[in-house]
Amino acid sequence: MELHQKTIRVAREDLDDLQHVNNVRYLEWIQDISREHWMLKAPESIQKEVVWVVLSHRISYKKAAFLGDELLIKTHVASNSGVTSQRVVEITHADRGLIVRSETDWCLLKASTLKPMRITDNIKDLFPGVRNK
């Protein structure tokens, strides 16, 4: 499984009225790291041919994160099936463990038509170790 990760520090603008990270901000981080991983792995030629869109997010909030916390965000593609791909993102804190876990179903579209297309072998090859259904 091809893993991508980065560390972030919680800033004031990430907080909600309860002074912990806002749920919407977690969703932004989930989308940001997913896109970043794709952009790092896919050559420009493939990026011009296809577009990924979200079908669904399943997010489990386990613990709160607070101002100044350093968080590790990790993502990987868990599986591919036809036109869809499932990506997992986990956000952890060194002392408090798992903060958030998400599973997102993405659909591959042909960029020129915006119609779903099967995930091709050259795209599958970008992420070794992924379960293909």
pLDDT band at 2 (very low <50, low <70, confident <90, very high): confident
pTM of the entire structure?
0.95
What are the φ/ψ torsions at residue 117 (nearest 5 degrees)?
-140, 150
pLDDT at 1 over 80: no
Q: How many domains does the chain have?
A: 1
Distance CA 119, CA 50 (A): 10
* Residue 45 is assigned to a structural domain of this protein: yes
Task: Report how far apart the first and last C-alpha atoms of the chain are (Å, whole number).
Answer: 15
* Residue 18 is assigned to a structural domain of this protein: yes
* Residue 76 is assigned to a structural domain of this protein: yes
Residue 93 is part of which domain span?
4-124
* Residue 82 is assigned to a structural domain of this protein: yes
Return the CATH number at 119: 3.10.129.10
Distance CA 49, CA 43 (A): 10
Q: Are 67 and 21 in contact (CB under 8 A)?
A: no
Q: Are 105 and 54 in contact (CB under 8 A)?
A: yes
List pLDDT tens digits, range 31-61. Answer: 999 999 999 999 999 999 999 999 999 999 9
**H, E, C per residue of 18-79:** CCEECHHHHHHHHHHHHHHHHHHHCCHHHHHHEEEEEEEEEEEECCCCECCCEEEEEEEEEE
CB atoms within 10 A of CB 112: 10
* Residue 130 is assigned to a structural domain of this protein: no
Mean pLDDT of the chain: 97
* Residue 133 is assigned to a structural domain of this protein: no
* Residue 97 is assigned to a structural domain of this protein: yes
High-pLDDT (> 90) share of the chain, %: 95
* Residue 103 is assigned to a structural domain of this protein: yes
